[in-house]
Amino acid sequence: MGQRSRTETVASVIAALLARRTWSQADLAREIGVRTEALRKVLEELSAGGIPVQSERDHPHVYWSLPKTWFPGGVLFKKDDVPELLRQLRRLPRSKARERLLAVLVEQLPAREKGIAEAPVLSREASEHEEQHVPAVEDAAVRKVPLSMRYLTASRGRISDRHVSVHLVDVGPPARFIATCHRNGDLRWFRVDGIVHARLDEREAFRECAVSAVAAFRAASLDGYKGEGSPVACSFFVREPESNWVANSLLEGMRVESLHHGIRVTIETSAVLRLARFVVALGDAARPDNPVLAEAVAEIAQGALRQAQAALQALEPAAIPGEPRRGPAQPRSDV
C-alpha cells in the first residue's frame, strides 16, 4: 500500500463512514488504502476526539459504525421529521434563540416547503431573565457544577449571595428550579426571575442529591412552593356549575372525584398556604373539608375582607338620602 498523510487518512475515513455508515474493519482498510492496525488507531482517536464512531466484534470480524443522524458539526434529520421539529420549535417560548433556530431551519427548506413554518401558533414570550439565566441554570445541572448567584428573595425583599447545586429545572412558566442551597444545606425552590447575576463556579464542590429525594420534594410542593414539615392530606368541595371549569384548571398533583352536585379535590402537600390561596380564589363555590386547610382559608379570606372593606370605606362617596346602597355586581361563575 502507498504512503498516505495522516490528514488524508482521517479525511478519507470520515468520508467513507458518511457515505456508508457501517464497515467491516478489513473492508474499510482496503477502501482507504491503509493497514488495519493504522486504521484502528485512527478510528480510536476519532472516537476519543468526540466523533461517535462505534465498534462491534462479530468474530472474526470487527465492524465500525457512525450513527445515521450524525454529521460533522451538526445533526441530520429525515425529511419526515422536519415538520414535527418545526412544530416543537414554534411551541417554545418566543426568544432570540428560538427565532434563530427557526430561521436556520427554514433557510434549509426547499421553497415549496417553507409554508409549513408559518402556522399561526401563538406561544408566550420568554422574559429577559429567562433568556439570560435559564441556560446557566441548565448548564449547572448538566455539568454538576455549583451555580454562584446573587438572588432576590421576594418574600423578604432582600438580595443575597449564595451557591446552589441544581438538580431539576422546571421551565414553567414561571421558570424555576430545585437546588440544594449551600448556605442552609437543604432543598429549595428558586425562581429564575429572582436571579440578579449568575455564573458557574467550579471552585465550589457540587452537592449530590438522590433522584428519589428530589422527586419527593417536588411531590410535596405545590405550584413551586414547599411549606414546612411533612405533606398533609387536604381536600375541598366545589359545587356545580363552577366545578365544570375548576376540574380543568387544577394545579399539578390535585386529584378530582366526581360527586353529586360537584367535585371533591384532594392532594397531599406541605404547601397548605398556596393551596388555601387557590381555594380562596374560588369564593363561595368552594368549601374546605379538613381543619388545617379551613384555618388557612379563613385567615386569608378574613384578611382580604378587611382590606376590601377598608378600601370601600375610603372610596365610597357620601350616601344620598333615600337612595338604596348597592353592593358590587355578582361576578360570572365562569370568569
Q: Alpha carbon of 146 to those of 49, 66, 192, 254: distances in Å?
A: 27, 35, 15, 33
Q: For domain 232-313, which architecture applies?
A: 2-Layer Sandwich (3.30)
Residue (of 239, 234, 277) closest to 258 by Cα position: 239
For 164-202, give one letter per residue: b (16+ CB within 10 A) or e: bbbbbbbebeebbbbbbbbeeeebebbbbbbbeebeeee
Query: Percent of the chain having pLDDT more than 70?
Result: 87
pLDDT band for 334, please (50, 70, 90 cuts): very low
150-194, pLDDT tens digit by residue?
Answer: 999 877 778 999 999 999 999 888 899 999 999 999 999 999 999
Q: Which fold has domain 128-220?
A: SH3 type barrels. (2.30.30)
Task: Quote the pLDDT of residue 104.
Answer: 79
Model confidence at 1: pLDDT above 50: no
198-225, pLDDT tens digit by residue?
Answer: 999 999 999 999 999 999 999 999 998 9
Task: Quote the pLDDT of residue 299.
Answer: 95
Task: Quote the pLDDT of residue 333.
Answer: 43
For 82-119, give one letter per residue: b (16+ CB within 10 A) or e: beeebeebbebbebeebeeebeeebeeeeeeeeeebee
d(CA 68, CA 70): 6
Q: What are phi and psi of 186, to 5 degrees?
A: -125, 170
Beta-strand (E) ranges in 43-97? Answer: 54-58, 61-65, 70-71, 74-75
Residue 132: CB atoms within 10 Å: 14
Residues 285-301: what's their mean pLDDT? 95
Q: Specify the residue for cell string 338620602.
A: 321
Beta-strand (E) ranges in 244-304? Answer: 255-259, 262-269, 286-288
Whole-prediction pTM: 0.65
pLDDT, the chain, mean: 85
**Kind of pairing, strands 262-269 and 232-239?**
antiparallel
Beta-strand (E) ranges in 155-307? Answer: 158-170, 176-181, 187-191, 195-200, 232-239, 255-259, 262-269, 286-288
Task: Quote the pLDDT of residue 236.
Answer: 96
Q: For domain 6-71, which architecture applies?
A: Orthogonal Bundle (1.10)
Q: Alpha carbon of 248 to those of 257, 261, 279, 325: distances in Å?
A: 13, 17, 15, 37
pLDDT band for 103, please (50, 70, 90 cuts): confident
Of 13-17, 165-169, 241-245, the poorest mean pLDDT is in 13-17
Query: Percent of the chain having pLDDT more than 90?
Result: 45
